[in-house]
Structures are given as structure tokens and as C-alpha cells.
Structure 1
Amino acid sequence: MITLDAVDRALIHALHVDGRAPFTKIGDVLGVSTQTVARRYRRLRAEASLRVVGLPDPQRAGQAEWMVRLTATPHTAQDLAHALARRADTAWIKLMSGGTEICVNVQTPATSDHSLLLRDIPRTASITAVSAHQLLHRYFGGPDAWLGRANSLDAAQIAALTPAHQGPGKPLTGEDDALMAALQRDGRASLAELATATGWSAATVARRLADLQAGGTVFFDLEIDPAPLGATTQALLWMAVAPAHLDRVAKKLSAHPELALVAATTGSATLVAHALCPDAAALHHYLTHRLGALDAIRTLETAPVLRTIKAAASR
């Protein structure tokens, strides 16, 4: 497993602040050469599966977001997960505890027919149980970074790298499909490469990208193996919290460095969170000492993540 030093971690944090920042700018802010930044970036791509990806923020892009939990017959879960990964409407897919449960994040236009939820999944013979939970509100996650990868830069460095977006932003349209597909493959693709992918001029690409970023409709995220960052144990946490306490509890959880996602959801579990911890003992400590101290959490289900089959970038 790759070992990360202070420069690697600072570069990862810098790319979260601005995934398209030029290496010269990142080098200036970090106090290292452009060549060092480029060399470290290539190493992280090769050894830590690092990718910068451009993604729509579902809450700002007019999309409905769902967490679909599937239970499959033995020996079929992995094949089913890989089949789901090939679909355009699945954002990320995780193989869960026991190897027979799959959790799928589905993002579709709010006005779509939700064919994956209503037609395709029920017709799959190997699936023995399905539950679909709409995410009503993200408290943390998406444009926010898991603190395990965004804790290396000081306030001045963050300010120097933060893009100066102005204006109300623009919604996504069907004309943006080619642009978004290209950004999801490589968020650092050049304007010339994006122009080739869209058939637009480089100037048009630059203007459209600025419009989409200005209001947060599109953001740039990182895919990276969390293990080199100190997180070898992952779990999805499904919590039942009374509506009167939901907002308060969710906001408190959003400040926990162990969590990469906190969202209100439909179903008997009203909150879902994604925990990343150094090991099983650390997860146990988090559950018993941090979450256990919150009396408003009435029930808690912990579903360990065995493997990430698909990450957000490969939609």
C-alpha cells in the first residue's frame, strides 16, 4: 500500500478545493515545484487510484437521489453488482456485509420514470429483497470532503486555491450530457479535450463550465483509495431518529471526522451515514462512544462495506 507524506496529503486536499487548479498554482500554494506536483499526481493516480471527477450536485441539479438496498442469492451478488455498475443511472455501488447485500446510489432526473427502481430490479430473478430510500436532504457529503482527506491545508492556502465563482449558476440541460460524461471520466480534462467531446468551442466550454460551477450545480470531487489515508474499515450506518431531533442530530454528525456522508432518508431509518475508520476497533469505539452518546438515535444498524464496485466517477 502506498505511503503518503505531507506533500501527498496537501496535494489531495488542494485537488479537493479546486480539482482543475493548474499544477503551477498548486505548487505555488504548497511551496513545491510544478514538477513535484505533477510527479506526485501521477504517482497517486497509479498507486492510490486517485481521479478528479466532475459531478452534478443532485440537490442543485434537479435530480432525485436514492439509496437502494438489494439482497441477492448466494454467488450472484458480485455479478449483479457489476451489471448494475454498467448502468448510467447508478452513481456508486458497494458490496455489503456477508457478500449478499448490495447498496446502490441512484441519481436520476426528478421527473424520470425511475425505471431501475420500478421495473428493472423487480424483474431480476437473483434478487430476493429490495428496499429503496430516497435521500431527502444531504447534510454532509457530495461537495463536502471527508475530513480524512481534507485536513492538510491552512485557511490561507484554502483561500488561495478556492475558485472565485460568481453569479447564480445555471441548471443542467440535455445539452450538457456530453460535457458531464467527459468530466466524469476525467475532471482535469483540458478545454481542448472537452471541446472535442462536446463539439463546442473551447471558449464555449469554459463559459458553460463557469456557469455550472458558479451556483454549485457541478462540483469536482476526488476518487481515492481511503486505506492510505488511514481508513481500512468502512460501514453504512442506518439510524432511526425522531423527526423532532433529526435536524439537530444530523448537523452534529456532520462535524464528525469519521463520516463522509450524512443524509436524511425515507424509511424506518431516517438518517444514513457512511463511516470510515482506521480499523474495526476504531469503528466500535465510534459507535459506542460518539453515536452512543446521542440519546436521540433510537436504533442503529451497521452494515460493513466489503468492497466498492463502482465509485461516483464511473457513472
Structure 2
Amino acid sequence: MHTGESVLGEADRSLIHALQIAPRASWTHLSAVLGASPDTLARRWEHLNTDGYAWNSLLTARLGHDATLHAWVELECVPGDAEAIALQVAGDPCTLGVHQVTGEADLVLLVVSPDLHALDAYLTERIRRLPGVIRSRTRVVTRLHNRPYRSRLEQLPPGQAHPLAEAATSDRKPRAAAHARAYPYVTDLDRRLVAELAGDARRSAAELARQCDTSESTVRRRLETLTTAGVLHHHCQAAPRFSGRPVWAMVTADVQPLDVPATVAALTRLRQTLLVTSVTGRHNLSLAMWLRTVDELHAVTAAMVRAAPGLRITGTSLSLRTHKIGAQVLGADGRRTHHVAPLRP
């Protein structure tokens, strides 16, 4: 059963894949690989980005000594209220995912918080006070085994993908150790830059300098510092409904604690398992993924058990509608409408 199809042409998909590999590569650099003029690529991306079919965003895994705590929050809602509640929480800076789902819960949220105290405050003062919320269940992520939103379209052949990957890697290597020693702190400017780039990670240093009332050289220096420290997470993504993988699914599972490392290694090798988390609660693993069809869920869960025979599947759910991915809010038609500046530690 198909729930969506890709409306992106091959040239669109190639450009998105290239930006997934090298998010801030110049149009000239991309032109040499993709075989289209820089102006053509810039216009094509402007169309995709402006019309909400794709975006290039930036989030942080951690800033300096600031901790980052993730949690899966399931909400049961009064019948008919789930969509209205989803629209409200999609506007919260601390939600990185808002999915309206099948199963025992009506909504599944991925929430980021500085610590347990802040998470409790959000749940108590915000979530549980929302009209229409009957109850909530929270599973704190004890380990994030891979970063969210790492999916790639895999459109480019190796001959095109490898040069981009090598260039992106080489750009991150120089002076990494020196910068880590020279800049062991995080500034208010860093936080402002991250907030600005959450909406469009390709904004120029000149534009960022004007927005943040500083110099271009300072912007470039701070971004290089954060990049070489490994705290920035770029992700270029096609709106799922138009990407060829429109179905979001969550699988919960149990595995013996001593078997977790080997199991996680096996699961992360599967193409579909984009996010693997160890969690508190009745089961100790929660996995999120994007699928081509609803039918694919059965094949994926079977592949999981084959890859990790000690794994016991305890539950599955599918998203009826995704309202938010990362900092991006999606409309009813599946396209990005706007972004919400992420939580600033």
C-alpha cells in the first residue's frame, strides 16, 4: 500500500543528495560534480526550499558543557483533539519531532531538554496542561546511538558522491585540535548563529554577520570552531511525503543489556533504521524510521530480528501525519511551512 510518491525529479534528488553530503558547499563546487551551472543549481534549490519541498537545517548535539537530554513522549488525547494539540506543540522550541500516530498513543513527540528538571517542567507546566491531553508517557533516552535525520536519498552514483564526501571531510579536519584547545567555551553569538541556521543552514557569513551585528570573519571563525568541535549537525532533507519514503514508523523492542552493543551495531546497518535509542520503561530500545510503504514495516521488523536474533519486538506504530521534523514545521500537504528556532541551552 503506497501512501505517497516522489514528485521530485532526478535533478532535484541529485541536488538534495549532494547537499546531504556537503551541506555548505558552494554552487560552483557542486556544479563541477552535478554537471549543471551554479545559477541553475541555485535557482533549483531556491524553488525546493521556498516551496517547502526540501530544506537545509542545522541543529546541535551539544554546545560546550551544555548537556542535551532527549525523550520520547507519548500523548493520549480526547478524540478529535490530537491534531490541534500537535499544532500547538510543534511550535515549542524543544520538540524535534511531532507525529500523529496509530496505536495506543495519539501523538509521539521527540523532546530535547537541558536536563531532567527542565524536562519535568515542560511536561508539568506545558504538556499536561494542554486541553485535550488525557495522559502522557515519557521514555527518557539513555543513549542516542546515532544522530537523527541522517537519511540520504542515495541518488548520486559513487563517482559523484565520493568527491563531495572527501571534500566535506577534508574541510572539517584542518586545525580541529587547535581550535578545540583555543576555544573551549561557547559564546552567546554561537547560540544566535545556531538559531539562525536552524531555518536555513546555507545562509552566507555576510548575511549572518548583519543579522547578528558582528563581522563576517567572526562568523566564519565561530562556525569553523563549532564544526571542528563536532557539535554542529547539518541535515538536508526532502519533505518526506515527496521523497519516496513518506511513512514514519516507530518500533519498540527489548534486548538483554549485555547484548545491546552488538544489537545496535546490527540494527544501524539496516538502511531503514535511521534513529536507534536506548530508553527507560517497559522496553529498552526505540527505533524510528522512514519507509516507502506501510507494507514495508513487516519486512523491516523481520529484517531486524534476522540481524539481531536476540531482539524481541514489543510494539509498532505508524504516523498518520508528521507535523514537525527537527526545527521544521510541516503543513497538511506535507510541505515545510516555517521553522521554529530550537531550544537554546
TM-score (normalised: structure 1): 0.89
Residues 2 and 48 in structure 1, CA contact (< 8 A), matched pair in contact too: no
Q: Structure 1, residues 139-167: CA drift from partner, whole Å, max 9, x if none? A: 2233x722445764432332134452232
Q: Which amino acid aligns with 1:96?
A: V
What are the within-5 Å matches in structure 2 for residues 143-162 of structure 1? 145-149=150-154, 152=157, 153-162=160-169
Q: Does 1:209 align with 2:223?
A: yes
Aligned residue for 1:137, secondary structure, equals strand
Q: Does 1:135 align with 2:138?
A: no
Separation of aligned partners in 1, 2:114 and 2:219: 23
Partner of 1:68: 73
Q: Which amino acid aligns with 1:304?
A: L
Residues 233 and 283 in structure 1, CA contact (< 8 A), matched pair in contact too: no
Aligned residue for 2:315, secondary structure, equals strand
Correspondent of 1:178 among 192, 197, 208: 192
Correspondent of 2:176 among 157, 167, 175: 167
Residues 14 and 161 in structure 1, CA contact (< 8 A), matched pair in contact too: no
Separation of aligned partners in 1, 2:19 and 2:129: 41
Q: Structure 1, residues 241-286: CA drift from partner, whole Å, max 9, x if none? A: 1111111111111111112211212222211111222112222222
Instruction: Select between 3-12 and 304-313 the one with higher mean Cα deviation.
Output: 3-12
Partner of 1:234: 248
Residues 29 and 160 in structure 1, CA contact (< 8 A), matched pair in contact too: no
Aligned length: 313
Q: Which amino acid aligns with 1:239?
A: A
Correspondent of 2:305 among 273, 288, 292: 292
Separation of aligned partners in 2, 1:94 and 1:303: 10
Q: Which amino acid aligns with 2:292?
A: P
Q: Tell me how far 1:227 sits from its aligned partner.
A: 3.6
Separation of aligned partners in 2, 1:285 and 1:303: 14
Task: Give ranges in structure 1 of 5+ residues lacking alignment.
Answer: none
Partner of 1:253: 267
Separation of aligned partners in 2, 1:107 and 1:173: 20
Q: Structure 1, residues 41-85: CA drift from partner, whole Å, max 9, x if none? A: 133325562111111014976211111111111111111111111
TM-score (normalised: structure 2): 0.82
Residues 2 and 47 in structure 1, CA contact (< 8 A), matched pair in contact too: no
Q: Does 1:83 align with 2:61?
A: no
Separation of aligned partners in 1, 2:242 and 2:199: 23
Q: Does 1:28 align with 2:32?
A: yes
Q: Which amino acid aligns with 1:135?
A: V
Task: Give ranges in structure 2 of 5+ residues lacking alignment.
Answer: 328-338, 341-345
Partner of 1:124: 130
Instruction: Select between 124-133 and 211-220 the one with higher mean Cα deviation.
Output: 124-133
Q: Does 1:51 align with 2:64?
A: no
Change (3 A) 1:63 1:187: same
Separation of aligned partners in 2, 1:301 and 1:113: 28
What are the within-5 Å matches in structure 2 for residues 263-282 of structure 1? 263-282=277-296
Residues 73 and 111 in structure 2, CA contact (< 8 A), matched pair in contact too: yes
Q: Which amino acid aligns with 2:87?
A: H
State the identity %: 24
Separation of aligned partners in 2, 1:171 and 1:305: 40
Q: Structure 1, residues 226-245: CA drift from partner, whole Å, max 9, x if none? A: 24332132211111111111
Residues 76 and 104 in structure 2, CA contact (< 8 A), matched pair in contact too: no
Separation of aligned partners in 1, 2:19 and 2:299: 31
Instruction: Select between 128-137 and 147-156 the one with higher mean Cα deviation.
Output: 147-156
Residues 145 and 264 in structure 2, CA contact (< 8 A), matched pair in contact too: yes
Separation of aligned partners in 1, 2:42 and 2:115: 40
Q: Tell me how far 1:171 sits from its aligned partner.
A: 5.7
Q: Structure 1, residues 141-198: CA drift from partner, whole Å, max 9, x if none? A: 33x7224457644323321344522324456454433222111121111112211222
Aligned residue for 2:295, secondary structure, equals helix
Q: Structure 1, residues 84-110: CA drift from partner, whole Å, max 9, x if none? A: 112222222111116961111111223
Instruction: Select between 218-227 and 248-257 the one with higher mean Cα deviation.
Output: 218-227
